[in-house]
Amino acid sequence: MSQPETPADPPRRSKLPLLLGLVLAILGGAGGFFAVRAQLIPGLGAGAAAPEEAHPALPGHAEVAFVPVPQIIVTLGSGGTARHLRFSAQIEVTTAGAEETAHLMPRILDVLNSYLRAVETRDLEEPSNLMQLRAQMLRRVQAVTGEGLARDLLITEFVLN
């Protein structure tokens, strides 16, 4: 006797269109990221603001000077759990204000040292807090130097070990 015929298994669908779509989506996202990051698309990205808008007080870059802040080493914690923070920075000023800022460096070091000692270690460990820490330190430097002298604080070394 013959066996009843069973319907043939349905053909398997190809995964090629799904894989091709996934690869194209990844390539498109990476291309868009690169275009924005490299500022190939005007008006987008971190550098979207014109330099005049970012620094309205300075018409040209020739009037910018950087005053180095000597390295500060701060001991955090006590006993066996003591850690150290090594910090150095540059203060952005006008060329005319560089000498006055350098003259005030002992006061600037004092205010930065005091602030860094008061910050909790967990706040220093979190990388996302660096911008807030920088803003707080710049505010304190500006309080020492007076209105309009210190324009920015550029952190050149921030090592916690």
**Per-domain residue ranges of the chain:** 15-48, 57-160
Instruction: Provide the Cα torsion 137, 138, 142, 147; round to 10°.
Output: -150
Q: With the C-alpha atoms ordered 68, 70, 71, 73, is the resulting torsion angle positive or negative?
A: negative
- What predicted TM-score, i.e. pTM, was given to this entire model? 0.59
Q: What is the pLDDT of residue 9?
A: 64
Distances (CA, A) of 128 to 61, 132, 134: 29, 8, 11
Domain 57-160 has what CATH class?
alpha beta
Q: What is the pLDDT of residue 51?
A: 46
Residue 16's SS3 state is helix
Q: What is the pLDDT of residue 28?
A: 87
Which runs of consecutive H residues, i.e. helices, occur in the chain? 16-37, 51-54, 98-103, 105-118, 121-125, 130-145
Instruction: Mark the ranges of the chain whose per-residue pLDDT is less than 50.
Output: 50-55, 57-58
